[in-house]
């Protein structure tokens, strides 16, 4: 049992599945639960995908909880077509996995997070890789967790590059800019792993072939899932030369901050019509102590080596 405990807050599509695998493959942390969110898929489908991936990887001991099903300012969620294009209609590259034997937990994901923060405190690492809705709801219900949670590293935002759903906004932040703003302007300290670094951290079919060559079910299924993702990137942005490891990079940075170079900044998230979802420095707090470390450069070769080591070793066993 590792001292460090991790909770993933996922809208489980393809890179979220890779994030789960990275957390399971890392030797220095225990994944104690997954909270489902909306985004790449609706929340119920994301929860089921998490259970399927956990079962594929031999970890039916890890519980999955459902969080909020829509943003903090709406009463429903409409999945964007681009999400289906990139992740497949089922969220995992149209790859069929067996229905999971384990059921979704009855406790809400928000309450699970609050309870875990009280229990583990500074030993708890939280990695949200979807909208910030669940975390904002938890902070509203139990503000004290802002200073109890030891490490909050999130995938989202764009500071030095354009967004990927609008000129200003990255997809996760765009789903609920108000929630993201509530989190980033709270006392909670966090590390932002945004498009500034994730678009430089790429996987190709060279790596997925290595998984396929293992001859295991997990290796083959993940190769199929990620090959779908790689082809989707070719269709959407063929300049990159691979698929971006958005969510697993956030998990990697949560465990080893030296993968990235950061700048210290107080941040605000715009939620006016013109620049909705923009993550930018807060000019009202320029001279105050900072609470966000923004990743602006990444040691992509060392990260990819670690990523492949963790996932390949995991897939060998399943």
Catalytic residue among 9, 11, 15, 227: 11
- The answer, yes or no, to whether residue 230 has pLDDT greater than 80, is yes
E strands within the chain? Answer: 5-10, 30-36, 64-66, 124-128, 151-155, 190-193, 202-203, 243-244, 260-265, 267-269, 279-281, 292-298
CA nearest 240: which of 269, 270, 208, 204?
204
How far apart, in whole angstroms, are the C-alpha atoms of residue 131 and residue 308?
Answer: 27
What's the average model confidence in pLDDT over 6-14?
95
Which pLDDT belongs to residue 237? 66
**Which structural domain range is residue 292 located in?**
4-316
Q: How many CB atoms lie within 10 A of CB 57?
A: 23
In Å, how far are 44, 64, 205, 207, 226 from 94, measured between CA atoms?
Answer: 17, 21, 17, 20, 11
Strands 5-10 and 30-36: parallel
If pLDDT is split at 50, 70 and 90, which confidence band does 91 have?
Answer: confident
The total domain count for the chain is: 1
Residue 115 annotated in active site: no
Which pLDDT belongs to residue 75? 86
If pLDDT is split at 50, 70 and 90, which confidence band does 69 have?
Answer: confident
Which pLDDT belongs to residue 173? 96
Lowest mean pLDDT among 112-121, 134-143, 164-173: 164-173
Which pLDDT belongs to residue 238? 65
SS (H, E, C) 55-73: HHCCCCCCCEEECCCCCCC
Tens of pLDDT, residues 242-267: 889 999 999 999 999 999 999 999 99
- The answer, yes or no, to whether residue 117 has pLDDT greater than 80, is yes
Domain with residue 29: its CATH number is 3.90.245.10
Tens of pLDDT, residues 35-67: 999 999 999 999 999 999 999 999 999 999 999
- The answer, yes or no, to whether residue 300 has pLDDT greater than 80, is yes
What's the average model confidence in pLDDT over 258-277?
95
What's the average model confidence in pLDDT over 166-177?
94
- The answer, yes or no, to whether residue 86 has pLDDT greater than 90, is no
């Amino acid at each position: 049992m590792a001292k460090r405990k991790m909770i993933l807050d996922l809208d489980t599509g393809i890179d979220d599945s890779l994030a789960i695998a990275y957390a399971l493959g890392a030797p220095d942390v225990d994944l104690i639960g997954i909270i489902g969110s909306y985004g790449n898929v609706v929340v119920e489908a994301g929860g089921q995908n998490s259970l399927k991936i956990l079962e594929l990887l031999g970890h039916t001991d890890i519980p999955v909880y459902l969080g909020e099903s829509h943003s903090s300012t709406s009463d429903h969620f409409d999945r964007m077509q681009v999400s289906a294009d990139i992740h497949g209609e089922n969220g995992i590259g149209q790859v069929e996995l067996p229905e999971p034997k384990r059921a979704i937990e009855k406790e809400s994901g928000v309450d699970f997070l609050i309870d875990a923060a009280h229990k583990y405190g500074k030993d708890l690492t939280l990695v949200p890789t979807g909208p910030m809705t669940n975390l904002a709801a938890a902070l509203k219900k139990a503000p004290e967790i802002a200073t109890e949670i030891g490490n909050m590293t999130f995938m989202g935002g764009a500071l030095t590059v354009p967004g990927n759903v609008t000129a200003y906004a990255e997809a996760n932040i765009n789903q609920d800019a108000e929630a993201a703003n509530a989190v980033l302007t709270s006392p909670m300290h966090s590390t932002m792993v945004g498009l500034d670094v994730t678009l430089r951290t790429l996987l190709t079919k060279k790596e997925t072939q290595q998984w396929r060559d293992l001859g295991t079910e997990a290796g083959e299924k993940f190769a199929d899932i990620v090959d779908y993702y790689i082809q989707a990137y070719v269709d959407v942005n063929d300049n990159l030369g691979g698929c971006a490891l958005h969510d697993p990079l956030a998990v990697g940075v949560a465990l080893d901050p030296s993968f990235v170079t950061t700048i210290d900044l107080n941040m605000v998230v715009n939620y006016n019509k013109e620049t909705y979802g923009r993550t930018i420095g807060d000019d009202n707090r320029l001279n105050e102590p900072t609470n966000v470390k923004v990743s602006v450069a990444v040691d992509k070769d060392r990260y990819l080596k670690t990523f492949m080591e963790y996932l390949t070793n995991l897939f060998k066993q399943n």
